[in-house]
Amino acid sequence: QITLKESGPTLVKPTQTLTLTCTFSGFSLTTGGVGVGWIRQPPGKALEWLAVIYWNDDKRYSPSLKSRLTITKDTSKNQVVLTMTHMDPVDTATYYCARSQWIELPDHFAPWGQGTRVTVSS
């Protein structure tokens, strides 16, 4: 059974850096074709893809947020960490991590973690 779970602060202040951890089980990030991505969803709004990291350490970022994001993996701990700098109230959202697959091309996200709600406020 594949599971993912996000963890991190529920409240951050504007200008601070957010660090989120995705801890997963049931698969390995050393397996070819496997990746873990981050997606967020502001309250009442649509999904927004943020970043993904693959088994070969290939990292891709949303162009609009690239300057603020860093994604890393720790295969020994089965964890993926996302950092986002210069947090702003508009970054208030539920942040999800999900397994990704690169088959012939970057493919779908499944399964997803339960999500973690992050509020940016002073």
Partner 1 sequence: QSALTQPASVSGSPGQSITISCTGTSSDVGSYNVVSWYQQHPGKAPQLMIYEVTKRPSGVSNRFSGAKSGNTASLTISGLQAEDEADYYCGSYAGRVPFWVFGGGTKLTVL
Residues lying near partner 1 in the complex (CB under 8 A) are found at 37, 39, 46-49, 52, 60-63, 96, 98, 103, 105-115
Beta carbon of residue 48, minimum distance to partner 1 (angstroms, whole number) = 7
By the 10 Å C-beta count (0-12 exposed, 13-18 middle, 19+ buried), 45 is classed as exposed
Those residues whose C-beta lies under 8 Å from the C-beta of residue 67, and which sit 6 or more positions away, are none
Return the number of the residue (79 or 102) whose C-beta is nearest partner 1: 102
Beta carbon of residue 76, minimum distance to partner 1 (angstroms, whole number) = 26
Q: How far apart are CA 96 and CA 6, in angstroms?
A: 7
Beta carbon of residue 60, minimum distance to partner 1 (angstroms, whole number) = 5
Return the number of the residue (76 or 104) whose C-beta is nearest partner 1: 104
Beta carbon of residue 108, minimum distance to partner 1 (angstroms, whole number) = 4
Decide: helix, strand or coil at residue 100.
strand
Note whether 62 and 49 are within 8 A (CB): yes
Return the number of the residue (81 or 113) whose C-beta is nearest partner 1: 113
Q: Which residues on adjacent β-strands are paired with residue 41?
A: 94
